[in-house]
């Protein structure tokens, strides 16, 4: 027994150094492709947190973006500056760009890298964050963005003058120029080449060991993919249309259930997206006006004038809805025109007909007799009597005396008894 215990002990001693020698360093990688928005911040912040938990050598953010929202960019920059794990922003693949918001993010990285045939810059703020921007507000926003990128460049010891010119003059440069001007730290053909070139670099007192590191991709979660899908302007617009169709479809056809439930779900998703990506209030007001005009057409014989006005208001409102956001968040006319035509047809042939039917006089059943004229077969008072209506003999009561042969009007039906009132018309004697 003693020999067995000794053998196990010796085996464990020999095994522990072996594990230490085979403990391969890791590098986490995330990919950003497209506009910078709230989902991008969620993805990057999660990547930083996981990299810190995994004790990865660094987090590589492979990025290709034309720009995005200023608030999301600020959140990402703060997350990178506060990161305990080195963050490497790599503008790739070849042909990629770090435009506008991407410039801020790249400059904030501990190590900034680019692939050949890529570019960076053009960080001039253009109505980022929504709302109409006059010349004074635009100058304030420009000054703020310039000072913000200056502070980031100073923090990372990068070319401050070029960083300011990228905001003030929309300056854009290639990877080779960026390396020469001390905007980035390295040019790499791909991620393995990048890890080889940054190996041994010292970041915050930590020496990177990346040459033979294991590359661990961090993919977007399903919820992040869903949210990124929702934050696309065309998806938000479709959600708005579905919400309108569903809710008004339920109103025009009560009890259908499915349109109302679908419309309510679309409305909730739309409100969630709008909370993170503000829309133009004037555009929203024009769309609301269009809906009102479409509904009024059902009650007013204007021969399509209200519908035409609603169509104009709808397409202008839809175009203005995302007008104050960066260009990548705006809708194209090729998308808006079919949506407007479909909406007009929906209101003309579905909603208008349904709403009219809710206010039309009932044409079947005993309720259809309300308002109709009857003839008294006997004297009718509050105690009772009988009237003749639509070929049938009915019991009836009236607060005022109605004599035999006088006309009366049905005002209420209770079971098999009518409540009538005199019309002051008597049958003509023939």
Q: Choosing from 100, 165, 318, 398, which is the catalytic residue?
A: 100
Write down the pLDDT at residue 361.
55
Report pLDDT digits (tens) over 60-85: 999 999 888 888 899 999 999 999 99
Does residue 171 share a domain with residue 204?
Answer: yes
Q: Tell me, yes or no, if 135 is annotated catalytic.
A: no
Does residue 104 share a domain with residue 50?
Answer: yes
Last residue of a domain, one of 177, 195, 221: 221
Write down the pLDDT at residue 240.
86
The region that residue 286 occupies, defined by phi over 0 for left and psi between -120 and 50 for alpha, beta otherwise, is alpha
Write down the pLDDT at residue 198.
95
Give the phi and the psi of residue 428 in degrees, each rounded to 5: -70, 135
Q: Can you give the CATH number for the domain in which 381 is found? A: 2.40.50.140
Does residue 268 share a domain with residue 217?
Answer: no
- Does a structural domain hold residue 226? no
Closest to 351 (Cα-Cα) out of 309, 266, 302, 290: 290
Write down the pLDDT at residue 277.
66
- Does a structural domain hold residue 254? yes
181 neighbors 173 (Cβ within 8 angstroms):
yes
- Does a structural domain hold residue 15? yes
Does residue 135 share a domain with residue 240?
Answer: no
Does residue 112 share a domain with residue 23?
Answer: yes
Q: C-alpha distances in angstroms, 35 versus 132, 133, 166, 191?
A: 21, 21, 18, 22
Last residue of a domain, one of 341, 359, 377: 359
Does residue 349 share a domain with residue 412?
Answer: no
**DSSP per-residue letters across 135-153:** HHHHHHHHHHHHHHHHHHH
Q: Tell me, yes or no, if 100 is annotated catalytic.
A: yes
Question: Rounded to whole angstroms, how far apart are CA atoms 180 and 182?
Answer: 6
Last residue of a domain, one of 325, 359, 393: 359
Question: Rounded to whole angstroms, how far apart are CA atoms 242 and 248?
Answer: 10
Write down the pLDDT at residue 12.
44
Sheet with 87-91, strands from edge to edge, namely 186-187, 111-114, 87-91, 58-64, 26-33, 214-217
Write down the pLDDT at residue 58.
96
| Range list of β-strands (E), 21-121 | 26-33, 58-64, 87-91, 97-99, 111-114, 119-121
Domain that holds residue 389: 366-426
Write down the pLDDT at residue 89.
97
- Does a structural domain hold residue 227? no
Report pLDDT digits (tens) over 321-351: 777 666 666 677 777 888 888 887 777 776 6
Q: Choosing from 78, 84, 140, 214, which is the catalytic residue?
A: 140
Does residue 206 share a domain with residue 313?
Answer: no
Does residue 267 share a domain with residue 137?
Answer: no
- Does a structural domain hold residue 298? yes
Closest to 336 (Cα-Cα) out of 310, 309, 308, 317: 317
Q: How many domains does the chain have?
A: 3
Q: Can you give the CATH number for the domain in which 20 is found? A: 3.90.226.10
Closest to 116 (Cα-Cα) out of 143, 90, 89, 84: 90
Cis peptide before 93 (omega within 30 of 0): yes
Does residue 216 share a domain with residue 181?
Answer: yes
Give the pair of three-digit tokens for residue 385: 């009597």
Does residue 199 share a domain with residue 78?
Answer: yes
In the predicted model, residues of the chain with pLDDT beneath 70 are 1-22, 126-135, 252, 276-278, 298, 301-303, 324-330, 350-367, 425-430
């Amino acid at each position: 027994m003693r020999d067995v215990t000794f053998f196990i002990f010796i085996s464990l001693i020999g095994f522990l150094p072996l594990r230490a020698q085979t403990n391969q360093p890791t590098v986490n990688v995330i990919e950003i492709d497209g506009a910078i928005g709230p989902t991008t911040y969620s993805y990057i912040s999660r990547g930083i947190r996981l990299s810190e938990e995994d004790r990865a050598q660094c987090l590589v953010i492979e990025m290709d973006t034309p720009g995005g929202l200023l608030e999301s960019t600020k959140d990402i920059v703060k997350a990178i500056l506060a990161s305990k794990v080195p963050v490497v922003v790599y503008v790739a693949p070849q042909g990629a760009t770090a435009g506008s918001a991407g410039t801020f993010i790249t400059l904030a990285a501990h190590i900034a890298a680019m692939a050949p045939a890529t570019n960076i810059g053009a960080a001039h703020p253009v109505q980022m964050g929504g709302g109409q921007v006059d010349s004074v507000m635009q100058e304030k926003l420009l000054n703020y963005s310039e000072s913000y990128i200056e502070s980031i460049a100073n923090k990372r010891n990068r070319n401050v003058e070029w960083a300011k010119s990228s905001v003030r003059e929309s300056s854009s440069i290639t990877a080779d120029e960026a390396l020469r001007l001390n905007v980035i730290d390295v040019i790499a053909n791909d991620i393995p080449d990048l890890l080889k070139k940054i190996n041994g670099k010292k970041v915050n007192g930590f020496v990177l060991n990346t040459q033979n590191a294991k590359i661990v991709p961090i993919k977007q979660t399903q919820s992040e993919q869903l949210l990124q899908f929702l934050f696309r302007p065309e998806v938000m617009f479709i959600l708005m249309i579905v919400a309108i169709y569903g809710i008004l479809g339920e109103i025009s056809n009560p009890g259908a259930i499915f349109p109302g439930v679908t419309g309510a779900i679309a409305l909730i998703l739309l409100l969630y997206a709008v909370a993170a990506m503000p829309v133009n209030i004037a555009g929203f007001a024009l769309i609301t006006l269009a809906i009102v005009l479409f509904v009024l057409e059902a009650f007013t014989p204007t021969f399509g004038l209200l519908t035409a006005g609603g169509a104009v208001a709808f397409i202008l409102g839809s175009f203005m809805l995302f007008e104050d956001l960066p260009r990548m968040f705006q809708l194209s006319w090729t998308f808006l025109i079919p949506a407007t035509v479909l909406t007009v047809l929906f209101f003309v042939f579905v909603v208008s007909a349904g709403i009219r039917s809710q206010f039309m006089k009932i044409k079947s059943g005993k309720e259809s007799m309300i308002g109709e004229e009857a003839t008294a077969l006997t004297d009718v008072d509050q105690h009772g009597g009988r009237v003749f209506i639509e070929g049938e003999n009915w019991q009836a009561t009236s607060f005022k005396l109605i004599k035999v042969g006088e006309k009366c009007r049905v005002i209420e039906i209770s079971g098999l008894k009518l409540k009538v009132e005199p019309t002051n018309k008597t049958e003509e004697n023939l």
